[in-house]
Amino acid sequence: MSEKVVRRFYEKSTAAEVLVNENIKGKRFLVTGGTSGIGTSTVEALAEAGGHVVFTGRNNEAGNNLVCSIIKNHPGAIVEYMPVDFCSLKDVKRFAEDFLKKYKRLDVLIFNAGMFGGSHTETEDGYESAAQVNAISQVYLLELLRPLLKESAPTRIVFVSSEAHRSANIKHGHFSAALLSPSKQHYSSWRQYANTKLCQILISNYLQEQWSKDGMTFYALHPGNMISTGIGRSWAGAKVLFAVIGLFTKNLQQGASTTVYCSASSDTINQGGKYFRDCWLNEPTSTARDLVFAEEVWKTCQKMISDKVPNYVATTE
């Protein structure tokens, strides 16, 4: 971080505290996975601070209830729920088309939606579910919204990754579509989560190199250890584990602070291509910093999209 930036926030800082001296009124934020956990706290903090927040999810009842709750508590808030299923490339495209018809500006895109745990499942596109939700569909949505992000520059794109990336076992020369989307025989829920979270950091770093010339700035972050969120809803043991661990970790408002710090703080304007933890710079693994590998991951995701989406032209930069 630049020497001119003094650290103001720490592990227990909340998203609301991060936004106290920031003016985000009139800025439009798109938050994926906003109907539960850290996503909900992110949506609430941004909307309450004056941002125009559009958030996604798969639970329509939860999405509509959150909108009503925020407007009830903050009558002037501008917040909207739009459903999308990241397990479906077709639905990601449908969502992007709806968003582009409705909005002509997007200042910040936050990839908060994620999947962890549970048994091996495949999406309607035939990919392992975490691979598609945590990586492939995010790349696809980025490509679909790229023209708008460019036109809206300066824009920020934020990936909510994880310290779990340190447990990944993929690397340059040991990566393929089959490793990103493993079969049931080669599947480990923790390893898959770690690998896909590493991919998010790599994609962020790659796009910082490739797209920053168009006024886009990319960030990746770790929100906190074992925060009780909805991310592990498919894992039977998650509820009990998070209930116990949650006594010693961040609450959801604290868990959303680093997301908001990367999305809206004046401290991070010139900190693209970096990885954050507890509202400050953190060094990811050497594999996460490998730009050659980052390009390999990007191109693999693009190829996996083009294999399923008719007439999709994969980009390499």
Q: Tell me what pLDDT residue 4 has.
A: 74
pLDDT in tens, the chain (317 residues): 545 789 999 999 999 999 999 999 999 999 999 999 999 999 999 999 999 999 999 999 999 999 999 999 999 999 999 999 999 999 999 999 999 999 999 999 999 999 998 899 999 999 999 999 999 999 999 999 999 999 999 999 999 999 999 999 999 999 999 999 999 999 999 999 999 999 999 999 999 999 999 999 999 999 987 555 555 555 555 555 445 445 457 899 999 999 999 999 999 999 999 999 999 999 999 999 999 999 999 999 999 999 999 999 876 56
Residue 33, token pair as written in the block: 């996975």
* For the chain, domain boundaries: 15-306
Q: Tell me what pLDDT residue 314 has.
A: 72
**Is position 206 annotated as part of the catalytic site?**
no
Q: How many CB atoms lie within 10 A of CB 244?
A: 10
Residue 101 burial class via C-beta count within 10 angstroms: exposed 0-12, middle 13-18, buried 19 and up: exposed
Distance set, CA 56 to CA 28, 79, 84, 193, 219 (Å): 14, 11, 6, 21, 20
Q: Tell me what pLDDT residue 240 has.
A: 52
> Which one is catalytic: 193, 206, 219, 261?
193
* CATH domain 15-306 topology: Rossmann fold (3.40.50)
